[in-house]
Amino acid sequence: MQIKIFALEKQHVIFKDLGIINYKDAWDYQEELLKKNLEIKSEARKAENLEPSAPDSYQDNLHQISTINYLLFCEHPSVYTLGKSGHIENVLLSEREMAEKEVEFFRTNRGGDITFHGLQQLVGYPILDLEKFKTGVSRYLHDLEEVIILTIAEYGIKGDRSKGETGVWIDPEKPGVERKICAMGIRCSRWITMHGFALNVNTDLSYFNNIIPCGIANKKVTSIEKELGHKVDLEEVKEKVKMNFEKVFHATLN
């Protein structure tokens, strides 16, 4: 009996490194890209006279939909961001104190609770059409975690998942020493994603002392620098994340 093996077509993803950019500017840019993709999907449905209630027909015509996938990298000046289901009491600073420390604050439309973004932290924002990747939100988050787990493994750091909690952790099964190295929070609209992950590379972790990170009390945060005892090249980390993103998502970045 002859067995036929079909290789899945690699998805094309446009990569952009935005450098150091204010949080709001990056957020606005993501919203712009997401909106354009939603408009493309809407027009495609109209052209094919397809209704949202016909997923099989829609899947068959995905090749005709010209949504554009992106992976954005950036660093943000110091900022705290609160997810749509987050609790403001997890912010331990007043507005005045944040102003004194020159730290911005935003309530966002991503999932998750409170987190910190700062320099030497690699923030990744994938704007992906999950229907083209034939995956759902849970699997997407799992794959994002896998990208980071593979990346930090190249530095000899064993990353893992913590049951019921998103992101990448170290020693999640060891109470008292578990620590998060990468936070994640996304938004998904009609299968188009935005927001993403924040990997602590050489990040100043003292800023996390002013919040209850991700709303999880009594658990610490860490960075590649802290785990290794020395700084690493952020540009090198970016290249490793890009390589592992291509591998996990079966994509081509350019």
**CA–CA dist 73, 223 (Å, integer):** 18
Residues 91 and 83: their CA atoms lie apart, in Å, by 12
Sequence letter at residue 16: K
Specify whether 182 is catalytic.
no
Contact indicator for 1, 241 with CB cutoff of 8 Å = no
Asked if 196 and 189 touch (Cβ cutoff 8 Å), the reply is no
**Cα distance between residue 21 and residue 5, in whole Å:** 44
HEC per residue, 49-87: CCCCCCHHHHHHCHHHCCCCEEEEEEECCCEEEECCCCC
Q: Active-site residue numbers?
A: 214
